[in-house]
Amino acid sequence: MTLQLDSLNEAQRKAVLTTEGPLLVLAGAGSGKTRVLTHRIAHLVQDKGVSPYQILAITFTNKAAGEMRNRLGDLLERGTRGMWVCTFHAMCVRMLRMDATLLGYGNDFSIYDDDDSKRLVKAIMEELDIDPKRFPLQGIRARISAAKNELRSPQEYEEAAGANPWLKTTARVYAQLQARLKRANAMDFDDLLVCAYQLLKDNPQVLAAYQERFRYILVDEYQDTNHVQYLLVKMLGARYRNVMVVGDDDQSIYSWRGADIRNILDFEKDYDEATVVKLEQNSRSKGNILTAANAVVANNRDRKKKRLFTVQDDGDKIMVYQAPTSARRASTSPARASACIGPVAATTTSRSSIAPTRSPVCSRTCCCVRACPTVSWVARASSTVPRCAT
């Protein structure tokens, strides 16, 4: 039975029906990217006869992976049976559980969570008599994480440290950390990515097997991939080049943890035959909100040009509340949101709620409500961002 695509708009249908070759989908906020991803997978399986075994879909959170599996369960009779729908880290764990012995680990290796890793680094610093006031624990850990995501080994890091005391101290801890982890047959979260990359890079037969299996690769939130994640996708998709990436350069908010926006901006350099589809129709917000959003993000440097639009009416004009301090802004924003749409949690980790991050309404430093299509006010701290036009 052919998959029904009547519910998709023209751009969404084009993305779903473009099944062969590299595909870059620039998906603005509220443009239905998850719908496109799931319908494209369902179209591959149901209409094109692709085996679920040949599909790899990568997301950034377990919650997003779960949502994708649930939606595919509604679209496909057999759901996601046979395909990999998972995060980057979960993908790497599955690979390493099969072949970690090729890297000198046991396949039953332990995975250290953030607390485990923090305790181990703290113990190493105490043994090396490193002053935590001069070299804070979190600063050391952040530098080690960045080095791993850049695929820099402890030896390479030490060689590049020179006379810099921070780098030299980090190099000492980094070397001890990796030695301790290896002796314990353990990996931390960063190691999962690095070791999976090393496994594929140093073992052509393993890489070839995964390349042959995963003929269709789909990656969500591609603007937030770091260097090693970028390389993993590039390696796995090198044989068939059926790589679809979905993302929005205007929503890249994780550079502080290694995300490299160049991965999405340079996709067409890596795949010169790539098809580009822009999802610009927003189904979430009113016209005035999108007008303001477009005006603000147009000033971002290094972006792919796109302009969100809606078939909804303009809605209320945007009001601007200028708080004297960021603290007052944070305390006032939930109250004003509640007045518009009902109770709103003051803190959340969701991308689509109140968050002191990039907003489709004002600026990166603004605290706004993103989930509601009717809220049309903007809170900002005094002199931190330009006033939005109404």
Of 382 and 325, which is predicted with more confidence?
Answer: 325
Tens of pLDDT, residues 342-390:
655 544 334 433 333 333 333 333 333 333 344 444 444 443 333 333 3
The pLDDT value recorded for residue 341 is: 65
Amino acid residing at 67? E
Q: What percent of the chain has pLDDT over 90?
A: 63
Mean pLDDT computed over 125-143: 96
Number of Cβ atoms within 10 Å of the Cβ of 367: 22
Tens of pLDDT, residues 145-177:
999 999 999 999 999 999 999 999 999 999 999
Token pair recorded at residue 349:
């980790």
**What are the sequence ranges of the domains in the chain?**
10-92+194-279, 110-184, 287-381
The pLDDT value recorded for residue 100 is: 97
Give the integer Cα–Cα distance in Å for 59 and 217: 11
The pLDDT value recorded for residue 343 is: 58
The pLDDT value recorded for residue 285 is: 84
178 pLDDT more than 50: yes
312 pLDDT more than 80: yes
Residue 331 CB partners (closer than 8 Å, separation 6+)? none
The pLDDT value recorded for residue 1 is: 60
Give the integer Cα–Cα distance in Å for 347 and 342: 15
Tens of pLDDT, residues 293-305:
888 888 887 788 8
Give the integer Cα–Cα distance in Å for 368 and 361: 7
321 pLDDT more than 80: no
Torsion 102-105-108-111 (CA) sign: negative
Instruction: Report the top-level CATH class of 10-92+194-279.
Output: alpha beta
Mean pLDDT computed over 136-143: 96
95 pLDDT more than 70: yes
Give the integer Cα–Cα distance in Å for 337 and 321: 12
Q: Quick one: pLDDT band at residue 2, thresholds 50, 70, 90?
A: low
260 pLDDT more than 70: yes
- 43 touches 3 (CB < 8 A): yes
What topology does CATH give the domain 110-184? Arc Repressor Mutant, subunit A (1.10.10)
Token pair recorded at residue 309:
């639009």
Q: Quick one: pLDDT band at residue 121, thresholds 50, 70, 90?
A: very high
Give the integer Cα–Cα distance in Å for 332 and 261: 32
Amino acid residing at 203? N
For 242-355, list the strands marked E by DSSP. 243-247, 275-279, 319-323
Give the integer Cα–Cα distance in Å for 59 and 70: 14
Task: Output the CA–CA distances (angstroms, integers) from residue 181 to 69, 189, 347, in the order listed.
Answer: 33, 12, 35
What DSSP designation does 387 have? P
Phi-psi region of 88 (alpha: psi -120 to 50; beta: other; left: phi over 0): alpha
Of 280 and 116, which is predicted with more confidence?
Answer: 116
Give the integer Cα–Cα distance in Å for 92 and 88: 6
Q: What is the mean pLDDT of the chain?
A: 86
The pLDDT value recorded for residue 69 is: 95
Tens of pLDDT, residues 34-90:
999 999 999 999 999 999 999 999 999 999 999 999 999 999 988 889 999 999 999
Of 14 and 305, which is predicted with more confidence?
Answer: 14
Mean pLDDT computed over 326-349: 68
Q: What is the dihedral of CA 39, 41, 47, 53, to 10 degrees?
A: -160
The pLDDT value recorded for residue 336 is: 75
- Pairing of β 55-59 and β 377-381: unpaired
122 pLDDT more than 90: yes
